[in-house]
Amino acid sequence: MNPIPVSIFTGFLGAGKTTLINEIVKQNPQLKFGFIINEFGEVGVDGQLVKNTGEELIELSNGCICCVVRDDLVKAAEKVINTGKVDYIIIETSGLAEPLPVAQTFSVNTLSGKLNLDAIVCLVDCINFKNINDSFKIAKEQIACADIIVVNKINEQKEDVVDFVLNYIQELNPYAVIIKNDGNIDTKLIIDTGKWSVENLTKHEGLLDDHEHEHDKIDEIVFTTDRLFDIKKLDKWVEENFPLSVVRAKGFLRIRGYSNDEILCLLQVAGAKRELRRFLPTRDDFDATTSRIVFIGKELDKQEIFTTLEKTLI
């Protein structure tokens, strides 16, 4: 049996990893995918956003995949393989994870030749690029060690900004293949490329030695409630009172809509971009009874966030 290829998807919080993964599944119906999804905090959201077309999916929460859950990562990969139903494995790391230790894990432990690391794929948010890279060292490291870099949201930026981002990436990582995602990306350029080489570990040895755990300085707050949100109050809160110290927020909300009906919505916030849209679950294990929102940022004021949010409830 040929080894199963593995792609590691990295990129800072809100870069668009899950969206691209769904596009890969859509464009490659001939492949049976297995997913290992790691989230920084104790409440998983991204696993529920991967379209359910029968794939094997394992979530690793409450720890960063590059350090505290690496043993769990190997066990998860073995579990996926042992189903006997998988052609390709995609690992979606936390937006705060360093991908190189994950690559090192599978370069050392191929599960007796059953796995073959294909590439590290880094997603870059063109809209929030400068602010993120000025504030978070991990964002640069994710770009620096990638084999393939996909620049997202270029249609929402001016040409000179896109050129700046592309030039910055090229200088930081001249070895990577850079792909501009204008909304019509060919995912065959991303998977099964054979771009990874174990020699990359030597090339990026400094990044492996300098494992600072920047995520230790990041706060996560989880707000849960079984009450409904009022859509008018929530819209106003998102636009006017959303905490500026939050760099990423995501969650599922039960809302009393404008027509007085109860609807389920997905909240997605990445930098200055904020989106609240209707959500239809595709996974059987989805909990539609409880609203939960995950906030990630530096020096978050939990009391202030909870107090203002509770004012939007019915």
SS (H, E, C) the chain: CCCEEEEEEECCCCCCHHHHHHHHHHHCCCCCEEEEEECCCCCCCHHHHCCCCCCEEEEECCCCCCCCCHHHHHHHHHHHHHCCCCCEEEEECCCCCCHHHHHHHHHHCCCCCCEEEEEEEEEEECCCHHHHHHHCHHHHHHHHCCCEEEEECHHHCCHHHHHHHHHHHHHHCCCCEEEECCCCCCHHHCCCCCCCCCHHHHHCHHHHHCCCCHHHHCEEEEEEECCCEEHHHHHHHHHHHCCCCEEEEEEEEEEECCCCCEEEEEEEEECCEEEEEECCCCCCCCCCCCEEEEEEECCCCHHHHHHHHHCCEC
Distance CA 223, CA 308 (A): 11
With cut-offs at 50, 70 and 90, classify the pLDDT of residue 291. very high
pLDDT value at position 177? 97
Residue 97, pLDDT above cutoff 80: yes
Predicted local distance difference test score (pLDDT) of residue 215 = 57
Query: What is the mean pLDDT of the segment spanning 22-34?
Result: 94
How does residue 42 score in pLDDT terms, banded at 50, 70 and 90?
low
Architecture, CATH, for domain 218-310? 2-Layer Sandwich (3.30)
Is the pLDDT at 236 greater than 70, yes or no?
A: yes
Write down the pTM of the prediction: 0.84
Tell me whether residue 164 is exposed, middle or buried, using C-beta atoms within 10 angstroms of its C-beta: 0 to 12, 13 to 18, 19 or more: middle
Q: What is the pLDDT of residue 195?
A: 95
pLDDT the model gives residue 46: 62
Amino acid found at 23: E
Residue, of 297 and 59, whose pLDDT is higher: 297
Burial-class residue 241 by CB neighbours within 10 Å (0-12, 13-18, 19+).
middle
The C-alpha atoms of residue 73 and residue 108 are separated, in whole angstroms, by 13
Q: Percent of the chain, pLDDT > 90?
A: 51
Which residues, other chains included, contact 227 with Cβ-Cβ below 8 Å and sequence gap of 6+?
A: 291, 313, 314
Residue 210, pLDDT > 60, answer: no
Residues 208, 70 contacting (CB under 8 angstroms) = no
To the nearest whole number, what is the mean pLDDT of the chain?
A: 86
The 10s digit of each residue's pLDDT in 151-162 is 999 998 899 999
> Highest mean pLDDT range out of 47-56, 66-75, 176-185?
176-185
Q: What pLDDT sits at residue 54?
A: 54
Confidence band of 303 (pLDDT split at 50, 70, 90): very high
Of the two residues 82 and 176, the one the predictor is more confident about is 176
Average pLDDT over every residue of 282-299: 87
Burial of 202: CB neighbours in 10 Å, binned 0-12, 13-18, 19+: exposed
Which CATH code is given to the segment(s) 4-215? Answer: 3.40.50.300
Sheet holding 88-92, edge to edge: 56-60, 33-38, 88-92, 4-10, 115-125, 148-152, 177-180
Domain range summary for the chain, segments of one domain joined by +: 4-215, 218-310
pLDDT band for 203, please (50, 70, 90 cuts): confident
Q: How far apart are the first and last CA of the chain?
A: 57
Phi, psi of 169 (to 5 degrees): -65, -40
Question: Each residue of 104-156: pLDDT tens digit?
Answer: 888 888 888 999 999 999 999 999 998 898 888 899 999 999 999 999 999 98
- Give which of 76, 21, 27 is closest to 51, Cα–Cα: 21
Q: How far is CA 78 from the centre of its chain?
A: 22
48: pLDDT strictly greater than 90: no
| pLDDT value of position 56 | 67
